[in-house]
Structure 1
Amino acid sequence: MQSNRYSRQLLFGPIQQAGQDKLQNSTVLVVGVGALGTVICNHLVRSGVGKIRLIDRDYVELTNLQRQMLFDENDVKEALPKAIAAKNKLEKINSTTEIDAIVGNVTAENVEELINGVDVVLDGTDNLFTRFILNDCCFKHDIPFSYGGVVSSRGMTAFLIPQKTPCLRCLISGTANDGQTCDTVGVISPAVDMVSSFQVTETIKYLTGNKDVLRNTLHTFDIWLNNQYDIKFANPKINCPTCQTREFPSLKRKVENAEIVLCGRNSVQIHQKTKLNLKIWKDKLAPVSAVKQTPFLLKAEFEQGITFILFSDGRVLVQGTEDTVIARSWYDRYIGS
């Protein structure tokens, strides 16, 4: 039955049965199950990767459906966490792939546990803070990192291998920001599909042993303006704290008390507590807001246009603002220290 499932892939010369067996015995980590992550997971599951560990901190909203292919309107109605909604869909696509879905946030404290036992880490995130945590951890433990980013009609991707290529910190400044995000200039789904497909293709090459045909470039494109470029990897930056001096600075940063603006969400995430009892907080917030609890989260809507989304792992999304000062003020007022 399984050979029939992958029959067209088995006919592809560089993969065949030997490569398919390698895919079946592989484990990957996908961080972020939004636009990039849903496409990544879809391709990985259909290709027959044996185990996928995925993690996402968010839940499904109506605006996601334009580009996040694993979700539907029912997921929106149920306010399902993206990790759970993705797992539900992926298991229907390929019941032989083991899906380990985690509702949570990647931090310096948990990232090493998350990558334990994986062969490749794939980037489906929307912020450099998390990407640099992944980059540091991958290069510390000699695990390839498949980087991808997309905004508007533009995409960028690179497959980074410790001791073989420069790391992400060598390619992209830690303060790189041209002021454009998916919230300010939007994003079209074909650009998302292209970046994710490049990420998965390089991953499949690596997992099946076809390392001689890896791209070995930083690939960029603008699908709307019909441009694409390959920038050959240069030597790692001298004294790079990740791949040269091996200081791994992002693994030393604590994310608790950090406010993170979420791309395209008009939301700020505050992760200050290690856990939240949703039943208790439902009772606390009910007198001052309209509350709704699901098995995965608690939603509290205030009349002033601010909404809290509480997760049991201690995270709170403050929706209705991208101003971290305002978000912190609301958080301190109702959640406290």
Structure 2
Amino acid sequence: MNRYDRQEKFNHIGRAGQSRINTKTVGIIGMGALGTHTASTLVRAGVKRLIIIDRDYVELSNLQRQTLFVERDAVESLPKVIAAKKQLEQIDSEVMITAHIDHCDAAALHDYFASCDLLIDGTDNFEVRQTINDFSYKTTIPWIYGACVEATYAACAFIPGVTPCFNCALGSLPVMNRTCDTVGIIEPAVSLAASFQSVYAMKILTGIPFDAKLIYGDVWNNDHTTLKFGRTKKPDCVTCGVHPTFPYLADTQQETMLCGRNTVQFRRVTDNAAELERFLSDRDMNYQKTPYFIRFQFNEKPMMWFPGGRLLIHDIKSINEAKTVFHQLFG
């Protein structure tokens, strides 16, 4: 039986729509709660290729809502994209999945996602979303925003040349300045946000015209709202206005405080694993090496280095504190 038989019978997709989906490449930025849900849906829907990126590794606290991971992934501290790729290939062995263990910045977007037909936001970071937004409108690749915390959810499609951008719509977006690390989250809120993202994705991938709306609600209180945002476009917008400058694509910040994690990320420390191992050995510092990272401690601060040069310093309360520890170690 045809794998997509039931989807093709849905009259809004049909065989023609399914044929379009089967040719598409989708990029998912962030392989956490939203990213794992939408990745599973789109692989099952039949996309040709999926490009995924995430800078983090699996922890036990992820399993409550990040649906592609199992306990063993957390025990082994597998990078999220590696664990996700393994599970997705068991859903469909023919889908092409490219996984990047990396921080998503402007350079990563240009290097990894320029060939995509669609981008999906699976992040929890405002600055990264701004960078995705700039990249989307500069390259004319549509993107789909998603967010969830506590019992609330939100989703919206941003289509260059059709809709105002994320910057223009900010005044209409629900305020989500809390994080799941501080106030928690329930899985049904994730499912709803990811479901609306996936519906928007299927409409875009099949080329079906639709009226993009901002969707948000509270699953616990059974509240749901949709809003049109077409009139929010600003002529002087730095991303989609008359003279766009795309300022977030010029971001050169080297240190980032990871949301709710007491962790600071340094970019481009060294891209040479052997050099780092010699450095640690010369100082009699124990370390654990896996195919995906090198883990060690300094001044009771756990650290993880990833190929490409990223370094995470855990149990840190500020970027300034992290810089102090970093310079004490590396000079």
Q: TM-score, normalised by structure 2?
A: 0.93
Equivalent residue, structure 2, for 1:242? 239
Instruction: Encode CA deviations 1:44-63: one digit per residue, 9 max, x unaligned.
Output: 10111111111111111111
Alignment match, 1:71: 69
Unaligned runs of 5+ in 2: none
Name 1:324's counterpart in structure 2. 319
Corresponding residue for residue 54 of structure 1: 52
Equivalent residue number for residue 209 of structure 2? 211
| 3-state SS of 2:295 partner | strand
Match of 2:221 in 1: 225
In the alignment, the residues of structure 1 paired with residue 9 and residue 313 of structure 2 have an alpha-carbon distance, to the nearest angstrom, of 50
Deviations 1:290-317 (A, max 9, x none): 421110101113463x210111111111
Secondary structure in structure 1 of the residue aligned to 2:47:
coil
Separation in 1, partners of 2:18, 2:94: 13
* Alignment-mate amino acid for residue 321 of structure 1: I
2:305 alignment partner in structure 1: 310
- RMSD of equivalent CA atoms: 1.8
SS in 2 for 1:66: coil
Tell me the residue number matched to 2:151: 153
- Taking structure 1 as the reference length, what is the TM-score of the superposition? 0.91
After superposition, the Cα gap between the structure-2 partners of 1:142 and 1:300, relative to the gap in structure 1 and judged at 3 Å, is same
How much has 1:80 moved relative to structure 2? 1.3
**Percent of aligned pairs with the same amino acid:** 38
Q: Shift of the alpha carbon at 1:285?
A: 3.0
2:310 matches 1:277: no
Q: Is the 2:268–2:308 Cα contact (8 Å) retained in structure 1?
A: no
Write the distance in 2 (CA, Å) between the matches of 1:61 and 1:315: 19
- Asked if structure 2 preserves the Cα contact closer than 8 Å seen for 1:182 and 1:263, the reply is no
In 2: Cα distance, 1:55 partner to 1:169 partner: 23
Tell whether 2:114 aligns with 1:116: yes
| Letter of the 2:294 counterpart | L
Check the 8 A contact 1:289/1:303 in 2, yes or no.
Answer: no
Q: CA deviation at 1:179?
A: 4.5
Q: 1:66 to 1:209 in 2, by over 3 A?
A: same
Is the contact between residue 81 and residue 100 of structure 2 (CA under 8 Å) also seen in structure 1? yes
CA deviation vs aligned residue, 1:52-85 (integer Å, no higher than 9, x gap): 1111111111111111110111111222111111
Unaligned runs of 5+ in 1: none
Shift of 1:115: 2.4
Q: How many residue pairs were aligned?
A: 326
Matches within 5 A, 1:72-151: 72-151=70-149
Alpha-carbon separation, structure 2, partners of 1:23 and 1:77 = 36
**Matched residue type, 2:271:** L
The residue number in structure 1 matching 2:289 is: 293
Q: 1: CA distance between counterparts of 2:55 and 2:234?
A: 32
Provide the rounded CA distance (Å) in 1 between the counterparts of 2:321 and 2:197.
Answer: 37
Residue identity opposite 1:221 in structure 2:
G
Distance 1:183 1:330, change over 3 A: same
Query: Which shifted more, 321-330 or 61-70?
Result: 321-330
Give SS of 2:107's match: coil
SS across alignment from 2:195? helix
Partner Cα distance (1:152, 1:106) in 2? 25
